[in-house]
């Protein structure tokens, strides 16, 4: 949630006012300037009352659906005796979470860590290499150790990014409450391109528009030439 908020906060300040102006709708930003950039609505900034009730109902409904799905997955995991972390909905469309088939693609450092783990296990049981029965008795499955390490690192990275995003969103809130300046204008080097970049983008869009018009004219001419008279 914090990562989504850290992205959504500056994006709303950059585009909400401009989109509202183009669609002929009132902006939900607080004190927008001539460029359409304003403070994001929040408890400290105010402006939450301007947001339509339909939006809050949709957010509450979506949150209830997600929480219900999470509860069902936890109950199913408890029923079959498997472990599932709270909030783990199994949502991984890009396939980033390591699977049981991912051992061959893991890094050398992870393989080294498992090698060290296997050596320690062998020393503990007094043999050269632990048998599957010995591994089972010591609660270590050497076949899945690589994947378990990769999963642990993935979870640690997600926690790190989430905590960083928490600090970022709190910083946005406090900064805007004190300065009354949108964060995208307080640190424009991160959010707003300079004039040269804007001009280059305008030129690229103009070239693209002319190119599309030329292609459309050619297609129309071709169709007109083959159409029966």
CA 29 to the chain's CA centroid: 23
Write down how long the chain is: 229
pLDDT of residue 93: 76
pLDDT of residue 222: 80
Angstrom distance (rounded) from CA 47 to CA 26: 12
215 bridge partner residues: none
pLDDT of residue 104: 47
Close Cβ partners of 112 (under 8 Å, ≥ 6 residues apart): none
Q: Please report, in tens digits, the pLDDT of each residue of the chain (229 residues total).
A: 899 999 999 999 888 888 888 888 888 888 888 778 889 998 888 888 888 889 889 999 998 998 888 777 777 777 767 666 666 777 777 777 776 655 545 554 544 454 455 555 555 555 555 555 555 555 444 556 667 777 778 888 888 999 999 999 999 999 999 999 899 888 887 887 665 665 666 677 778 888 888 888 888 888 777 766 5
Angstrom distance (rounded) from CA 51 to CA 53: 7
Angstrom distance (rounded) from CA 144 to CA 150: 10
CA 79 to the chain's CA centroid: 31
How far, CA to CA in Å, does 70 sit from each of 79, 95, 163?
14, 19, 21
- Cβ neighbours, 10 Å, residue 170: 13
pTM over 0.75: no
Angstrom distance (rounded) from CA 15 to CA 34: 13
DSSP labels, 141-189: -TTTHHHHHHHHHHHHHHHHHHHHHHHHHHHHHHHHHHH-S-HHHHSHH
Tell me if 114 sits within 8 A of 142, measured CB to CB: yes
Angstrom distance (rounded) from CA 66 to CA 71: 9
pLDDT of residue 134: 54
Angstrom distance (rounded) from CA 114 to CA 139: 14
């Amino acid at each position: 949630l914090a990562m989504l908020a850290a992205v959504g906060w500056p994006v709303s300040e950059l585009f909400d006012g401009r989109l509202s102006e183009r669609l002929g709708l009132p902006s939900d930003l607080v004190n927008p300037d001539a460029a359409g950039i304003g403070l994001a609505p929040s408890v400290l900034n105010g402006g939450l009352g301007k947001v339509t009730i339909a939006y809050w109902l949709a957010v509450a409904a979506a949150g209830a659906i997600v929480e219900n799905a999470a509860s069902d997955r936890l109950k199913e995991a408890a029923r079959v005796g498997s472990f599932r972390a709270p909030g783990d909905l199994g949502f991984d469309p890009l396939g980033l979470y390591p699977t049981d088939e991912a051992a061959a693609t893991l890094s050398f450092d992870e393989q080294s860590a498992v090698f060290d783990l296997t050596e320690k296990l062998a020393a503990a049981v007094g043999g050269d290499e632990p048998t599957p029965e010995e591994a089972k008795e010591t609660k270590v499955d050497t076949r899945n150790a690589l994947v378990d390490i990769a999963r642990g690192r993935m979870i640690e990275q997600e926690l790190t990014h989430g905590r960083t995003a928490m600090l970022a969103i709190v910083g946005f809130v406090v900064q805007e409450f004190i300065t009354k300046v949108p964060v995208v204008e307080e640190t424009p080097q991160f959010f707003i391109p300079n004039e040269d970049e804007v001009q280059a983008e305008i030129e690229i869009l103009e070239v693209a528009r002319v190119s599309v018009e030329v292609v459309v004219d050619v297609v129309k001419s071709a169709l007109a030439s083959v159409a029966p008279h």
